[in-house]
């Protein structure tokens, strides 16, 4: 049976039994006795179209969520099988244009616009948190990803921290602008430390100190402005797999120190790319290191040097296109 939406305040009082949260036998499955009263019509329609009755009783139904914070819109997208099935817009203005009510943890005014539920909240952070909580109680959430186009970290960071506190797997975090607060950037790094992908602008202040890079275990890390990064911080990133650092101010001595530490312990590192402001001389960069193989350079690229790290792991170092330093583990 499709859920019922409440049209007026009076109906909310008269039909309160229809909007109480359902009792689930399991938070990640669809038991035969489960009530779908809270689930929006369009989400239900997609479930019934994509799953047979047998599957609904025997398989977990999983979704992926993307939280988007743009200049003029903030919304949550729900995906199943790589296809968007539902979208919830978060508004904090023009309350008079809503014609229904919906219960998350809070009863909020809503309206439907095609496959989008537009919801009105007093605070945007509360809206994001309650929507995530709502779907986490109904489905197995594979991962939550974030696309932030604003620098308002006081709205953005608490949402990521909330997902971390709920043990939700964080997929990708895309935040290509500077935060107005380096302290909030630190909090974002800590909350995203187990993410699949993290793409951030970096710290706004070159004097900022962050000593927890060793806690980051990210598959792909991109810091667009790493002008503040030291050799010690770059070494501490070895628990990440693929790293790209932009606008780096390290010199040959710094990179030599990084290579020495990676030879001792490469960690999980597969590739480190550093776009350096300084014109790095490769021969000085590898000076004093035990080199096991060299590919001579040509007019297009410099020489490539191989080393053997702990455990017999082979990796190479070279200066590539546009002076980018590339340190890479052999397959």
pLDDT tens, N- to C-terminus, the chain (331 residues): 333 344 333 333 333 323 333 322 223 333 333 333 445 555 545 554 454 434 443 335 789 999 999 988 999 999 988 888 889 999 998 888 898 988 899 999 999 888 899 999 999 999 999 999 999 988 889 999 999 987 778 888 999 999 999 999 999 999 988 887 889 999 999 999 999 999 999 888 777 788 999 999 999 999 999 999 999 999 999 999 999 999 999 999 999 999 999 999 999 999 999 999 999 999 999 999 999 999 987 776 789 999 999 889 999 999 988 889 999 999 9
Q: Which domain holds residue 140?
A: 1-149
Cα 147 to Cα 192: distance, rounded to the nearest angstrom = 13
Within-domain flag for 54: yes
Residue 205 lies in a domain: no
- Burial of 286 per CB tally in 10 Å (0-12, 13-18, 19+): buried
Question: Computed over its alpha carbons, how large is the radius of gyration of the chain?
Answer: 25
* pLDDT at residue number 60: 59
What are the two backbone dihedrals, phi and then psi, of residue 311, each rounded to the nearest 5 degrees?
80, 10
What global pTM score does this model have?
0.81
Q: Give yes or no for a contact between 213 and 268, defined as CB atoms under 8 angstroms apart.
A: no
In a domain, 39, yes or no: yes
Dihedral of alpha carbons 206, 211, 214, 216, sign: negative
Q: Which residues are CB-neighbours of 237 under 8 A, at least 6 positions away?
A: 213, 216, 221, 243, 269, 272
Query: Is 192 a member of any domain?
Result: no
- The verdict on residue 185 lying in a domain is no
Task: Return the number of other C-beta atoms located less than 10 Å from residue 170's C-beta.
Answer: 21
Instruction: Report how many domains make up the chain.
Output: 1
The answer to the question of residue 220 being in a domain is: no
Residue 208, domain member (yes or no): no
The CA-to-CA distance between both ends of the chain, in Å, stands at 54
Domain membership of residue 13 (yes or no) is yes
**β-pair type (220-223, 170-175):** unpaired
78-121 confidence digits (pLDDT tens):
998 888 888 999 999 888 889 898 889 999 999 988 889 999 99
């Amino acid at each position: 049976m499709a859920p019922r939406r409440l049209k007026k305040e009076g109906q909310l009082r008269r039909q309160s039994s229809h909007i109480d949260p359902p009792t689930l036998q399991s938070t990640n499955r669809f038991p035969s006795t489960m009530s779908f009263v809270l689930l929006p019509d369009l989400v239900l329609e997609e479930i019934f179209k994509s799953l047979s009755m047998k599957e609904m009783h025997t398989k977990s139904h999983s979704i992926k969520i993307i939280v988007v914070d743009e200049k003029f819109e903030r919304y949550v997208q729900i995906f199943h099988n790589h296809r968007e099935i539902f979208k919830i817009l978060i508004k904090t203005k023009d309350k008079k244009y809503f014609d229904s009510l919906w219960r998350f943890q809070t009863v909020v005014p809503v309206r439907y616009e095609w496959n989008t539920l537009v919801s009105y909240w007093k605070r945007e952070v509360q809206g994001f948190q309650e929507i995530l909580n709502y779907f986490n109680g109904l489905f197995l959430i594979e991962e939550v990803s974030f696309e932030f186009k604003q620098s308002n970290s006081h709205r953005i960071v608490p949402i990521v921290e909330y997902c971390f506190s709920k043990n939700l797997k964080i997929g990708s975090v895309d935040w290509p602008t500077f935060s107005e607060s380096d302290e909030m950037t630190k909090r974002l790094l800590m909350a995203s430390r187990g993410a699949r992908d993290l793409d951030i602008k970096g710290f706004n202040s070159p004097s900022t100190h962050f000593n927890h890079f060793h806690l980051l275990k990210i598959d792909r890390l991109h810091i667009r402005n790493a002008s503040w990064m030291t050799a010690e911080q770059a070494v501490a990133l070895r628990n990440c797999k693929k790293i790209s650092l932009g606008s780096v101010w390290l010199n040959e001595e710094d990179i030599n120190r990084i290579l020495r530490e990676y030879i001792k312990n490469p960690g999980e590192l597969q590739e480190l790319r550093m776009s350096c402001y300084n014109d790095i001389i490769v021969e000085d960069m590898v000076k004093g290191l035990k080199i096991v193989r060299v590919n001579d350079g040509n007019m297009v690229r410099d020489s490539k040097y191989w080393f053997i790290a702990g455990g017999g792991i082979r990796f190479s170092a070279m200066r590539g296109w546009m002076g980018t330093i590339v340190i890479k583990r052999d397959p």
